[in-house]
Amino acid sequence: MSRTAPREAAAEAGTPARTRGGREALRTFARSWLPARTNVNSRERVRAVGGAGLGLAVTALIMHLIGPGVEGHWLVAPLGASAVLVFALPASPLAQPWPVVAGNLFSALVGVACARWLPDALWVGPLATALAIALMFGLRCLHPPGGAVALLVALNHTTHFPFSLQVAGGSALLVLAGVVYNSLTGRRYPHVQLAPSTPAADARFSSADVDAVLKRYNQVLDISRDDLETLIRETELESYRRRLGTVRCADVMTREPVVAEFGTSLQEAWTLMHTRRIKALPVIDRTRRVVGIVTQADFFRHIDLQHHEGLGGRLRDFIRATRTVMSSKPEVVGQIMTRQVRVASEDRPLVELVPLFSEGGHHHIPIIDDERRLAGMITQSDFVRALYRAVGPETPEAPQGQPAASVPGR
């Protein structure tokens, strides 16, 4: 810290609050005029530049082969702005085929009509632009270059309606070039508007929440609704990864979990789960390697659940050991366990288990060590508790003499 810093801080502290607020407002106003950084790498910039140049070149060549066009022009200047949208912003709602072609077409028609039927006056150009924007809103083809098309036609006093077809033809050729070029360079175009996805049960927000916020915002966004929701969800997931990135499975797992072996009787396994109040037992061999997992669902799968009467009796009959040598029903855990078990290593980041618990339908994941021996178990309760501690709100400090609120246990 420089020697002048304490004096500047002291002077700032002695400045009236109204003066400090005015200075901050002035700085904010000045920053609002500066462009924000573009989070696009050089490869994407080269892709967009090359696409715009190539697309316009192809459009001009085909238009030249077709004929000289109205007033001898092959291209109109607003198509350059359309090229920016089609090749540099292919995901924008304003750059999709319908807005590009219909927006430019109807704007040209409005401009020609104004130039043809209204007196040549100063206000004709602004009026044509305003009417074009209103029409594009109504036809759901809002396209910024369309305003330039209407203004250009009105200012040049173009009264030939075929000129509108020339504008539409150039726009259609530009769109076709955009479809081919964007697809070849890894960009989805046309950018289909996907239906709102059904969020997971534990999602922090729903599609209806996004719609409610957009309705209150009440402004045209240069991003599709589905892309906006996807970006919000991926940002939330990235935040989880950042804040959970240092948490490993070994930090969360329950060590020395209750286990069963292949030959453990059904009655013993059921008694263990009932007395320990757990819903799953990892099944291990003599070297403590996981060979399966048995859950309460594995027991109930062998019982007729369609009839609720006598359910307890059927369960007791199922787990009771058969006294005879030969038995037609399962007798040990190995006969009913699930053999395909999803396991995770001790040093695996906890965040990587999010898809398993949220979408994979898993409730218990055995944790193994470097020698693939069972080291612990992570349940949904363990995962939620770790998630709460990592990304949940901080517990406020309790007043003196009062204990801080604790997180409820499992």
Question: Do both 283 and 149 map to the same domain?
Answer: no
What pLDDT score does 6 carry? 52
Highest mean pLDDT among 48-62, 152-166, 328-342, 387-401: 48-62
Residue that has been written with the tokens 């998630």 in this structure: 387
Domain-embedded: residue 397 = no
Domain-embedded: residue 367 = yes
What pLDDT score does 383 carry? 86
pLDDT of 116 over the 70 cut = yes
Domain-embedded: residue 76 = yes
Question: Do both 334 and 211 map to the same domain?
Answer: no
What mean pLDDT comes out for the span 77-87? Answer: 95
Domain-embedded: residue 316 = yes
CA 390 to chain centre: 21
Question: Do both 52 and 149 map to the same domain?
Answer: yes
Computed over every residue of the chain, the mean pLDDT equals 83
What mean pLDDT comes out for the span 135-154? Answer: 95
What pLDDT score does 367 carry? 94
Q: Count up the domains in the chain and report the number.
A: 3
How far apart CA 328 and CA 330 sit, in angstroms, is 7
pLDDT of 320 over the 90 cut = no
Nearby residues of 132 by Cβ (< 8 Å), 6 or more positions away? 106, 107, 110, 111, 146, 147, 149, 150
What mean pLDDT comes out for the span 76-99? Answer: 94
Provide the domain limits for residue 214.
Answer: 207-244
Question: Do both 171 and 211 map to the same domain?
Answer: no
In this predicted structure, which of 249-253, 323-327, 363-367, 368-372 has the lowest mean pLDDT? 323-327
What pLDDT score does 68 carry? 65
Question: Do both 117 and 151 map to the same domain?
Answer: yes
Residue pLDDT, tens place only, 337-367: 988 888 999 999 888 888 888 777 788 899 9
Helix (H) or strand (E) holding 327: none
Domain endpoint, select from 199, 228, 244: 244
The percent of residues in the chain predicted with pLDDT above 90, rounded, is: 41
What pLDDT score does 325 carry? 66
pLDDT of 157 over the 70 cut = yes
What pLDDT score does 404 carry? 39
Question: Do both 89 and 51 map to the same domain?
Answer: yes
- Confidence (pTM): 0.57
The count of other CB atoms within 10 Å of the CB of residue 229 is 21
Question: Do both 230 and 306 map to the same domain?
Answer: no
Question: Do both 315 and 355 map to the same domain?
Answer: yes
CA 180 to chain centre: 26
Question: Do both 115 and 160 map to the same domain?
Answer: yes
Domain-embedded: residue 333 = yes
How far apart CA 177 and CA 180 sit, in angstroms, is 5
Question: Do both 385 and 325 map to the same domain?
Answer: yes
What pLDDT score does 7 carry? 53
CA 119 to chain centre: 52
CATH number, domain at 292?
3.10.580.10
Question: Do both 47 and 180 map to the same domain?
Answer: yes
Q: Inter-axis angle of helices 144-155 and 124-138, to 10 degrees?
A: 150
pLDDT of 379 over the 80 cut = yes
What pLDDT score does 409 carry? 36
What mean pLDDT comes out for the span 367-394? Answer: 83
107 residue type, one letter: S
What pLDDT score does 20 carry? 67
Domain-embedded: residue 376 = yes
What mean pLDDT comes out for the span 255-279? Answer: 91
What mean pLDDT comes out for the span 247-260? Answer: 90
Domain-embedded: residue 13 = no
pLDDT band at 318 (very low <50, low <70, confident <90, very high): confident
pLDDT band at 321 (very low <50, low <70, confident <90, very high): confident
pLDDT band at 292 (very low <50, low <70, confident <90, very high): very high
Per-residue HEC secondary structure of 4-70 comes to HHHHHHHHHHHCCHHHHHHHHHHHHHHHCCCCCCCCCCHHHHHHHHHHHHHHHHHHHHHHHHHCCCH
Domain-embedded: residue 29 = no
Domain endpoint, select from 227, 244, 261: 244
Name the more confident of 326 and 247. 247
The count of other CB atoms within 10 Å of the CB of residue 172 is 16
What pLDDT score does 181 carry? 96
Question: Do both 290 and 345 map to the same domain?
Answer: yes
